A and B are shown apart, each in its own frame.
Chain A
Amino acid sequence: MNRPPPAVFETPGFPHYGVAWSPFHSNRIALASSANYGLVGNGRLHLVSLGPGPGGVPALSLDKFYETQDGLYDVAWSEIHENQLVSASGDGSLKLWDIMIKVGTRRSELPIRAWHEHTREVFSVDWSNINKDQFISSSWDGTVKLWTPDQPRSITTIHAHPSCVYQAMFSPHQPDVIATCSTDGTVKIFDLRAPAYTPAAPGVNNFTAPLTAAALTVPAAGTEVLTVDWNKYRPFVLASAGVDKAIKVWDCRMVKLGPDAAQNPAVGGACEAQLMGHELAVRKVQWSPHRADMLASAGYDMTCRVWTTTPPLGGKHLLYIHDPHTEFVVGCDWSLYEEGVLASCSWDCRLNVFRV
């Protein structure tokens, strides 16, 4: 197959941590990056747009960037305001940026709002596309926090896991339902309407071990689960992946939601497919916004892969391998406007946009 080469954009000195397409503009991409691979040093939030390049081939160009004092680990666009986006920092803070409003000096522009409640690295942010004024953040401090841009403090805190929460995602179908994944090898589904603290079981003390009861706990892997995503078409179907190198698709329709969810914590989730192929840990999975059976994954084996969950008879799950990255691939995001267009970002400081 003869594919056009990917459009490439480089940010020398700033390895990437996250990438997100704008939900409002078909050609805008935000990139979260950190100097020194996020070990120490500053971060940068890049705004990149895809436009016609020389010879009619699409090319990426930098619109602007913001400097931050700590590495950036994730970024999410606002679903309600086309110029706003929120970034997750290594120092535990969240920052809301408006690309049209100038705050600060020309050389160091500032966010329009910043929150600092997490006590450790914030590793993911996700904006709800149902309650469009809400977003969530997940942190290594084990909590997930719900925010709205107007409030100076978080609305709710969920003590989701006893250890690092690598990702938290809003359900695209149900308001107030989120999925989280963690070091402890579980994926959990929480209903935000349920009270944050109910004794999970007699004899469990919520004061010494504050953990919010999950509506459903999925024992997804024996090792760390680094990423989770909701299928956009099939309610309560999730994909998870992590250190065990497998991408697993979970049917979680047995979950019981509602305010009482926390009263009857359940364990379950039926694994309906397991996609093997990554040679090292999988860092990110994302379902296609256009097709119910397609997902993309990015991994430490320096590849970005595209999979189908329903291969034709005798066919393979694996559809495509994007191999040009030369360092760990840490993020991927499907274009919301053009089917089959994927952006992948990596520690080689390159953002690749390509058609699958």
Chain B
Amino acid sequence: MSLPLLVNGAECGPSNPLQGLSKRFDQDRGIQQDQFAAGRAGSSKETFRSQYSPAPGVNQDAARFFSASPAPTYGMPPPSSFDLSALHRSLPISHGQSVVHMQSPTQTPSLQAGAAAWAADFLQQQPSEKAVERHAAPMTLEQNMSPVSQSSPGAFMSNMSWNPAMGYSTAQFAPMAGVQQSIPQMQSAQIDAAKWDQEFRSQVLSLHTENPAAAAPAVEDRAKAASRSQPVHEGDELARTAGALLDTVQGETNPKFKNSAFLGLMRQLRDRDVILEGNDLVQRDEAAGAQAPADVKGKGRAVDAPTAAAGGFMQSLTQQPIADSSGGATASSEQTSRPGEDPNDTYFRQENEDYIALQTRIRESNNIASLETASDARASQMAPQEAEWGALQQDWDAFEATAAGIRPLASYQFQSNNPYLHGEASRTRHHVAHGGSSQTLYESVLELEAAAQKDPTNASRWYQLGVKQQENEREQKAVQALRRALELDPTHLPSWLALAVSHTNEGDRLGAYNAIREWVGRNERYAAAVAHFRALNPESAGATHSEKLAGLMHCLMSIVREHAGDEIDADIQIALAVLLNTNEDYAKARDCFTTALAVRPDDWLLYNRVGATLANSGHPDEALQYYYSALELNPAYIRARFNLGISCINLRRYDEAAQHILDALVLQDGDSVRDASGNEDKRGVTTTALWDSLKTCCLHMQRLDLATLCDRRDLDAFRLNFSMQ
């Protein structure tokens, strides 16, 4: 099956599976926002008219014409739709894996042996293997490369970026390399297994036990670190993808979706009740049993057997992780085990910690090793290996071990090589000069990211980052940052409001509703009013979503009415406007926004929102002036620029639209960072929605050449060609 797109880089590849999914689920926001009201009906008799709602006049006819078909209306769930290829992408290449399994010498003995026998075998094999292992790292790397290099160049790149095979092999051999470098006296092939293991164990556990009888647990520990590290990582991706998929169908009211076996499976994957074992999906407790997957006919016996054996390992470990206190590993797990924790969880948490500790140590020793052997050919091998480790480490660090198992920390991915991270001293013009963008006036995303990284528990920093990401048209990242802010401080009201805006933009009505509800519920100023309203209008348990929405709207309206005499609170107007927007009640939403604008005449966000509301209700021409006002206040406001472009498309001013969207892209691109080798890490910096709109624009302009450049996301070439016309 396919995997390569896990990380990034291949043609259809989203930067992560989640993003890939959301790409499919969420409609293109920028377009949707403008198209929402009338655009559904979409097409007219004209060429090219399917994407954007035409000018109002044409549009109404079209809408009337097509309204014969059941148009999605008020009560519909948010637009979501999907294809499952992202799921496929989060799966490993099974044949790739099998190659590695067969090649890795330490796995071979396990083919016929059970857990205990495996350990014994391993011990016996040590002396003879050691000679091989001296050179194992480079050799195995080469071997692993060969299947990869046989595939086409495109596949090669993507395989390189995240290959389970590669990851696996490093997991196997990097520890050894570290060990060997740190114990140079072990030149002789006659050094006995027990001593080797002892040394190894001291690396792994930092426990200098001299008892050779305790060697077995150490071997187990190492083997499990190697054999479990990769699968767990894959499992994470799969679980996260499954979770994302479920989130997108949660609004489905159709009972079929509740009973769906497939969605049930997704739920199990998300909760890790079912995990990927070799070539099959199995129950986790089943997987722990040493039983081979049910269907082993055909492919992959070589794959199945080792994993089954590894499963056996797990069983022996999980069944008696604490009872046997002879080994160092179990001793330490006893020390740190938390009361009431499931043995499984203990095991995972323990292993996670061990693994991180092990890795840190290995990386250190690797660094020393590469210094020592700088002239050695191996040094060149180390670099990619380390990069691989670095990536793995980052992935691991992104998880937090809790009593409930491992869960992802805030999924917000920071850009790497952020120059602002190096403290105030590095805040020179240097980066700005590089980017050539106009970000000098305003704090850039990178600055705010650095601030959040330096002070990761400060909710307001995350909030600022979230709002900035919204302004920069990166909705997903904005949501992640805002979620993080709210995790840290659930009473941070501005975050709730900002989150509601993001959800509205993503078409997530339920999310917007919940955020506004939280906002008003936690707002002390209105606590009494809300309580009063809720007492008068108790919510029935079986209320449908739209009823709830209407209820909340009435609640807000009554509050506004009660406070009519006081000075206007812009926030509640905004909250109400957001709700009205989700309800496609644009005229009222616009009134609310303009009221808020009267209080805050310098808020560029509000100008943009009024503009977007107008555009959504089919008045792109009127929207323009508001966008211009927003941009006057903040020329680097990417979202307003993009919205301006969309409105121009709807007014069929394609040249102008292309220029605006291009400007927005250039501004976004200003956030990219060049790494040491001069390559830019473009991942997630420019938004797909912008590129897609720009491409459509180019197609309308009959500029196929430019559209091709859009497909390739080649900003520099595009600018060059665009300005040349």
CB distance from B277 to the nearest CB of A (A): 9
Interface centre among A42, A141, A248, A280 (most CB of B within 10 A): A280
A115 on the interface (CB 8 Å rule)? no
Closest to B156 in A: A119
- Contact A318 B299, CB 8 Å, known A90-B1, A222-B696: no
Given the complex, which residues of B lie within 8 Å of A42, measured CB to CB? 295, 297-299
Q: Scoring B residues 283 to 326 as 1 if CB is less than 8 Å from chain A, else 0, what string do you get? A: 00000000000010111100000000000000000000000000
B68 touches A316 (CB 8 A): yes
Give the dominant DSSP class at B's interface: loop
Find residues 157-195 in chain A having any chain B CB closer than 8 Å to their own CB: 162-164, 166, 183-185
Contact with A along B696-713 (1 / 0, CB 8 A): 100100101101100110
Chain B interface residue count, Cβ-Cβ cutoff 8 angstroms: 77
CA distance A348 to B259 in the complex (A): 11
The answer to the question of A258 belonging to the interface, with a C-beta cut-off of 8 Å to chain B, is no
Interface presence of A256 (CB below 8 A): no
Partner-contacting stretch, out of A230-238, A269-277, A333-341: A269-277
A9 at interface, CB cutoff 8 A:
no
Q: Which partner residue on chain B sits nearest A311 by CB separation?
A: B68
Say whether A281 contacts B82, CB under 8 Å. Answer: yes
B95 within 8 A of A: yes
User: Is B48 located at the chain interface by the 8 A CB criterion?
Assistant: yes
Query: Which of A109-146 touch B at CB < 8 Å?
Result: 119-121, 140-142
The answer to whether A119 and B87 touch across the interface, beta carbons within 8 angstroms, is no
The answer on a CB contact under 8 Å between A277 and B70 is yes
Q: A239: CB under 8 A from chain B?
A: no
Q: How far is the CA of A71 from the CA of B47 in the complex (A)?
A: 39
Query: Contact at A35–B1, with CB atoms within 8 Å?
Result: no
- Determine whether the beta carbon of B299 is less than 8 Å from that of A141: no
CB distance from A336 to the nearest CB of B (A): 28
**Within 8 Å of chain B (Cβ to Cβ): is A149?**
no
Find out whether the CB atom of A108 lies under 8 angstroms from the CB atom of B298.
yes
Interface string of B678-705 (1 = CB under 8 A from A): 0000000000000010001001001011
Stretch at the interface among B24-32, B331-339, B342-350: B24-32
Answer whether A67 and B298 are a contact pair too, CB < 8 Å, given A204-B708, A219-B50, A265-B704: yes
Interface size class of chain A, counting residues whose CB lies under 8 Å from the partner chain: 35 or more
CA distance A159 to B122 in the complex (A): 49
Contacts of B40 in A (CB 8 A): 276
A 203-236 contacts with B by CB, 8 A: 203-204, 209, 211, 217, 219-224, 226
Given contacts A121-B2, A267-B699, A327-B261, contact A219 B254 (CB under 8 A): no
Give the contacts of B704-725 with A (CB-CB under 8 A). Answer: 704-705, 707-708, 711-712, 717, 721
> Across the interface, which residues of A come within 8 angstroms of B431, CB to CB?
none
A243 adjacent to chain B (CB < 8 Å): yes
Closest A residue to B159 by CB, please name it.
A119
Q: Which residue of A lies closest to B255 (CB)?
A: A326
Establish whether residues A40 and B45, one from each chain, have CB atoms under 8 Å apart when the complex forms.
no
By beta carbon, the residue of chain A nearest B32 is A222
- From residue A165, how far is it (CB to closest CB) to chain B in Å? 10
* 0 or 1 for each of B371-386: is its CB under 8 Å from A? (1 = yes): 0000000000000000
A residues within 8 A CB of B564? Answer: none
Please indicate the chain B residues that have their CB under 8 angstroms from the CB of A279 in the complex: 76-77, 252, 254
Q: Can you list, as one digit per residue, whether each of A301-330 has a CB less than 8 Å from chain B (1) or not (0)?
A: 110000000010011111000000011100
**Does A316 contact B299, Cβ atoms closer than 8 Å?**
no
Q: Is A245 an interface residue (CB 8 A)?
A: yes
User: Across the interface, do A327 and B82 meet the contact criterion of CB distance under 8 Å?
Assistant: no
Contact A281 B708 (CB under 8 A): no
A37 within 8 A of B: yes
Choice from B49, B85, B298 contacting A140 with Cβ under 8 Å: B85
A272 to B62, CA, bound (A): 11
Inter-subunit contact A245/B79 (CB<8 Å): yes
Besides A108-B297, A244-B27, A271-B49, 9 other CB < 8 A contacts?
A: A35-B280, A36-B280, A40-B1, A41-B281, A119-B154, A221-B50, A221-B51, A248-B50, A268-B47
Residues of B within 8 A of A (CB): 1-2, 4, 11-12, 23-24, 27-28, 31, 40-51, 66, 68-72, 76-77, 79-85, 87-88, 91, 94-95, 151-152, 154-155, 249, 252, 254, 256-257, 259-262, 265, 276, 279-281, 295, 297-300, 692, 696, 699, 702, 704-705, 707-708, 711-712, 717, 721
4 closest cross-chain pairs (CB), A and B: A201-B705, A281-B81, A69-B299, A163-B12
What are 22 A-B interface contacts by the 8 Å CB criterion?
A: A35-B295, A36-B265, A37-B265, A39-B88, A67-B297, A67-B298, A183-B12, A201-B705, A221-B50, A242-B83, A243-B83, A267-B704, A274-B42, A276-B41, A276-B66, A276-B69, A276-B71, A277-B69, A302-B256, A317-B68, A317-B69, A348-B261
